[in-house]
Structure 1
Amino acid sequence: MNIVGITACTSGIAHTYIAKEKLIKTAISLGHKIAVETQGTIGIENELKKTDIDNADVVIIAADIKVTGKERFTGKRIVEVSTQVLIKSPRALLNKIQEELKV
């Protein structure tokens, strides 16, 4: 499965990066391709490439705040959760998405 994601928390520091790392680590361990953008106090980092978005099977937005640039995902399957969901149970989330998409 090809995954793109955005992580963002209220302070834009700790949970943003913890959620990103958990998502990447878990996705890779399950054999998925992934690219994750962070949006925080220092702005956007690792901005998603158009080709990654175009090839994505799913977009995961793990955010506790409003994120910018969601219009890039028009026509894509979008899953929105809090950063806590991703931090506490990334494998369960990815397994559920995989099951729903039958990938």
Structure 2
Amino acid sequence: MKIVGVTSCPSGVAHTYMAAEALEQSAKKVGVDIKVETQGSSGAENQLTSNDVANANFVVLTNDTNINGMERFKGKKVVQLSATQIIEKADAVMGKLLTLNKGELK
């Protein structure tokens, strides 16, 4: 399974990067391939390519503010939560996505 994500918060500092780290750590625990773009105060970092998005089973958006480039996720399965929710519950979100993905494989 492959997941891509974009994190952003109003100040573009702490929560943006904390949410990205929470997703990356949770994915690593369960062996899921993930790439997270951060849209922080210094602009977009670790930008997702069109191939990254095309090959992703799910898109996780952790935005408390507008995300640039939303059109690239059209037609994808998108989960949208606040940065705080992801920071606190990344493992549960990852578990749910794994369950959903297994259901699709049947």
TM-score, structure 2 as length reference: 0.92
C-alpha distance in structure 1 between counterparts of 2:29 and 2:96, whole Å: 15
C-alpha distance in structure 1 between counterparts of 2:85 and 2:101, whole Å: 19
Letter in 1 for 2:90: P
Q: Tell me which moved more, 69-78 or 91-100.
A: 91-100
* Superposed displacement of residue 100, structure 1: 2.4
Q: Partner residue of 1:62?
A: 62
Structure 1 runs not aligned, ≥5 long: none
C-alpha distance in structure 2 between counterparts of 1:86 and 1:64, whole Å: 11
Alpha-carbon deviations, 1:72-100, whole Å to 9, x = none?
11111000000011100100011112222
Percent identity of the aligned residues? 43
Equivalent positions of 1:66-85 (< 5 A) are 66-85=66-85
Aligned residues: 103
C-alpha distance in structure 2 between counterparts of 1:35 and 1:61, whole Å: 12
TM-score, structure 1 as length reference: 0.95
Q: Tell me which moved more, 29-38 or 90-99.
A: 90-99
Root mean square deviation, CA, Å: 1.0
